[in-house]
Amino acid sequence: MSESIAFNPEASKEEKYQDLLPQLKALLEGETDLIANLANVSAVLKTVFEFWWVGFYLIKQEELVLGPFQGPLACTRIALGQGVCGKVASNKSTIIVKDVSTFEGHIACSAASRSEIVVPLFSQENKLAGVLDVDSEHLAHFDHIDQHYLEKLSAILKKQDWDA
């Protein structure tokens, strides 16, 4: 397994995603443990893009429970349908929030978070497995480029052993 990820800090956001995804895919293919893999994915995204918070919420007994993440302390449980994460879990489609103060029901785990993107994650049987939540301390930080590549990452993550 590769112990490091190569990226050019000067590259554009899209170039960074294009560089990273094959490396993340290789990293995930070298390890079967779900928690180890999600921990590394959150670390890589946080390091490369310097996001405020990057992490996973996993479906456990019909609610979202905090999984591996990088960043400040976060809420541990989110009901389906609640907050951005819970809405994504219910609707099974990505939500980009340009200004969290305008999103009804947004759950503020950190007062510093101003915008976010949440992407649903699925098992190989297309069962909802959880969500990937990325937060920024800047307004309107996420766009269709983040959506495109984070959904590609979600597709790569399908192979994980989500029932572990």
Determine the size of the site formed for ligand SME (CB under 6 A).
15
What's the min distance (Å) between Cβ of 14 and ligand SME? 24
Taking CB under 6 A as the rule, does residue 59 contact ligand SME? Answer: no
Cα–Cα distance, 81 to 88 (Å, whole number): 8
Q: CA nearest 17: which of 56, 40, 53, 44?
A: 44
The window from 19-27, 105-113, 120-128, 144-152 that contacts ligand SME (CB under 6 A) reads 105-113
What's the min distance (Å) between Cβ of 147 and ligand SME? 17
User: Of 41, 45, 85, 134, which lies in the binding site for ligand SME, with binding defined by CB under 6 A?
Assistant: 85
| Closest residue to ligand SME, based on beta-carbon distance | 83
Token pair of 22 as six digits: 């094959």
User: Of 20, 24, 133, 162, which lies in the binding site for ligand SME, with binding defined by CB under 6 A?
Assistant: 133
User: Of 28, 41, 58, 78, which lies in the binding site for ligand SME, with binding defined by CB under 6 A?
Assistant: 78
Cα–Cα distance, 74 to 6 (Å, whole number): 29
Looking only at the bridges linking them, the beta strands covering 115-122 and 63-70 are unpaired
Secondary structure (3-state) at 102:
helix
Cα 97 from chain centroid (whole Å): 14
Taking CB under 6 A as the rule, does residue 146 contact ligand SME? Answer: no
Taking CB under 6 A as the rule, does residue 75 contact ligand SME? Answer: yes
Which residue intervals of 9-161 are DSSP H helices? 13-29, 34-49, 83-91, 144-157
